[in-house]
Copies of this chain bind each other. A is one copy, B any other.
Amino acid sequence: MSLVDPVLQGLVDSLNAAYGLCLDDGRLEEWPEFFVDDCLYQVIARENVDNGFPAAVMYCDSKGMLADRVVALRRANVFPEHFSRHLISRAVLTAVDAHVVTAEASYAVLQTRNDGETRIYNAGKYVDRFLVEDGAAMLMSRTCVYDTHRIATLLATPI
């Protein structure tokens, strides 16, 4: 392994850490701010990816759709109260091209429901493209490819 640009590495890893805490703190309204306006966010089963079936269980192709999703979660959806907790690995930067960085990071989302126990809710990897400009990074696209194909509760909050 050779060293990648430590500044890019730090930007990507810091975004991922802040992204996880944002969701785990329940600050859903801040979540779209990690993305550029013309973004892509999708959640898709690893089995589907491996077999060439691109059907996603969640698909948003603009920041506006992400914001709508948050409104829906706040106003309309009914789901059992829970806490989430993201554990996100150091990213592997797979390509750097001008202002665009592609990277992958493994994640596990733990969930604590009313019974007070903490379980693994969803594990997988983020397959990402980041826009890096003026010393700051934003998500152009995030594809959550999940291993956990039996999901215990409604996929309510973002991964």
Chain A interface category by residue count: 35 or more
Q: A87-B89, A106-B85, A124-B85 are in contact. Are A116 and B17 (CB under 8 A)?
A: no
CB-contact partner of A9 in B14, B83, B115, under 8 A: B14
CB within 8 Å of B: which of A124-138? 124-125, 135-138
Q: How many identical chains are in the complex?
A: 3
Residues in chain B near residue A151, CB distance under 8 A: 116
Q: Which of A55-63, A65-73, A142-150 contacts B (4 or more CB under 8 A)?
A: A142-150
Tell me the minimal C-beta distance from A8 to chain B in angstroms. Answer: 9
Question: With A and B bound together, what is the CA distance between A85 and B88 in angstroms?
Answer: 11
Question: With A and B bound together, what is the CA distance between A106 and B24 in angstroms?
Answer: 9
Asked if A6 is at the interface of the complex by the 8 Å CB criterion, the answer is: yes
Asked if A64 is at the interface of the complex by the 8 Å CB criterion, the answer is: no
Closest to A83 in B: B147
Q: A1-B136, A6-B6, A117-B120 are in contact. List 4 more A-B contacts (CB 8 A).
A: A20-B89, A85-B123, A87-B108, A110-B147
Nearest 4 pairs of A and B residues by beta carbon: A116-B150, A116-B149, A83-B147, A112-B147
